[in-house]
């Protein structure tokens, strides 16, 4: 290991806010800011017209809604979805009571209860990056 | 948790395009983004990690040529399945793709794993859990 890589700094004020509008949200840094604030669950947020970037997998727990969102670039919406194998999860970013309004997701996968995955798979038309 | 390994050295600067990583602590998403930005491509490919602590939260998409030796996969909640995800399509969007890499005596923290069905079943069958 030689040259220095960029060192991440996390904006801890992100965790205190509940509304985000027309912002670019890099999910890994976003969740780290919450974890540093002692919040392991991202709860009670509203994102409007935001760009939500991964790589990351969003774990939808309770009451997470997507309204007019572009879920990502793929020719098959199932490519955005991952099923849990066990009864617990690790490595994903848990959300609850959150609205995403007209947001665009890039490099973000989704997981959650089988009913949530079924809803996403059946109800969203995801065609090569077109609006879902 | 699987095999126990001593904690490696603390976080220190690293070259995101290095072929070998030894004794470092870093976030997988941090390495991935730095590697992409440095021109390393959209996969973490052809790297050897030894005695590293690799942090999440992140989901690792394990592709061909990846080997784990004496790896501590982290807290499993008593069941290796709790670390695993099954892609519903052909592509695991949101996961960080890793190919032709070796992980030797590494420790994972908040890293989920995905890959093909055979690989996932091999992990369930072969990796002992202690917590």
Chain A contact for B4 (CB, 8 A cutoff): no
Interface of B with A in 48-87 (CB under 8 A): 56-60, 74-77, 79-87
User: Which pLDDT tens digits describe chain B residue by residue (131 residues)?
Assistant: 454 444 444 566 778 889 999 998 999 999 999 999 999 899 999 999 999 999 999 999 999 999 999 999 998 888 899 999 999 988 889 999 999 999 999 999 999 999 999 999 999 988 877 66
CA angle B49, B38, A105 (to 5 degrees): 95
Question: Whole-model pTM?
Answer: 0.87
Distance from CA of B111 to the nearest CA of A (A): 4
How far is A13 from B56, CA to CA, in rounded Å?
21
A105: left (phi over 0), alpha (psi -120 to 50) or beta: beta
Chain A contact for B111 (CB, 8 A cutoff): yes
Interface of A with B in 93-122 (CB under 8 A): 93, 107-111, 117, 121
Q: Map out the domains of chain A as residue ranges.
A: 17-130
Q: What number of CA atoms fall less than 13 Å from residue B109's CA on the CB side?
A: 9
| Contact: B89, A76; criterion CB under 8 Å | yes
Nearest CB neighbour to A88, from listed B12, B82, B93: B82
Residue B38 has which token pair? 């440095």
pLDDT digits (tens, 9 = 90+) for A76-121: 888 999 999 999 999 999 999 999 999 999 999 999 988 888 877 7
Question: Is there a contact between B65 and B99 (Cβ–Cβ < 8 Å)?
Answer: yes
Enter the ipTM.
Answer: 0.87
| Contact: B89, A77; criterion CB under 8 Å | yes
Query: Phi then psi for A103, rounded to 5 degrees?
Result: -95, 160
**B121-126, long-range: CB < 8 A, 24+ apart:** B123/B80, B123/B83, B123/B84, B124/A85, B124/B80, B124/B81, B124/B84
Query: Phi then psi for B68, rounded to 5 degrees?
Result: -115, 125
Distance of CA B124 to the CA centre of its chain: 16
CA pseudo-torsion sign B7, B122, A75, A49: negative
How far is B108 from B27, CA to CA, in rounded Å?
10
Distance from CA of B82 to the nearest CA of A (A): 4
How far is A111 from A89, CA to CA, in rounded Å?
10
Asked if the model's pLDDT at residue A59 lies above 80, the reply is yes
């Amino acid at each position: 290991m030689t040259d220095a890589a960029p060192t991440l700094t996390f904006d801890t004020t992100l965790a205190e806010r509940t509304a985000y509008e027309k912002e670019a949200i890099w999910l890994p840094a976003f969740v780290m800011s919450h974890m540093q604030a002692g919040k392991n669950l991202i709860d009670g947020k509203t994102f409007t017209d935001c760009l939500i970037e991964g790589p990351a997998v969003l774990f939808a727990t309770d009451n997470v809604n997507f309204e007019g969102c572009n879920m990502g670039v793929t020719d098959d919406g199932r490519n955005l979805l991952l099923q849990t194998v066990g009864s617990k999860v690790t490595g994903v970013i848990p959300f609850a009571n959150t609205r995403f309004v007209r947001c665009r997701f890039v490099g973000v996968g989704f997981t959650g209860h089988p009913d949530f995955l079924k809803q996403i798979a059946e109800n969203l038309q995801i065609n090569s990056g077109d609006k879902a | 948790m699987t095999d126990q390994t001593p904690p490696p050295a603390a976080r220190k600067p690293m070259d995101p395009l290095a072929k070998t990583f030894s004794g470092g602590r870093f976030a997988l998403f941090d390495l991935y983004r730095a590697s992409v930005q440095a021109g390393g491509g959209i996969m973490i490919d052809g790297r050897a990690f030894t005695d590293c602590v690799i942090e999440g939260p992140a989901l690792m998409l394990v592709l061909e040529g990846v080997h784990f030796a004496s790896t501590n996969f982290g807290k499993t909640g008593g069941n290796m399945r709790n670390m695993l995800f099954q892609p519903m399509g052909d592509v695991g969007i949101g996961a960080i793709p890793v190919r032709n890499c070796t992980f030797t005596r590494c420790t994972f923290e908040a890293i989920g794993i995905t890959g093909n069905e055979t690989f996932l079943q091999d992990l369930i069958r072969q990796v002992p859990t202690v917590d």
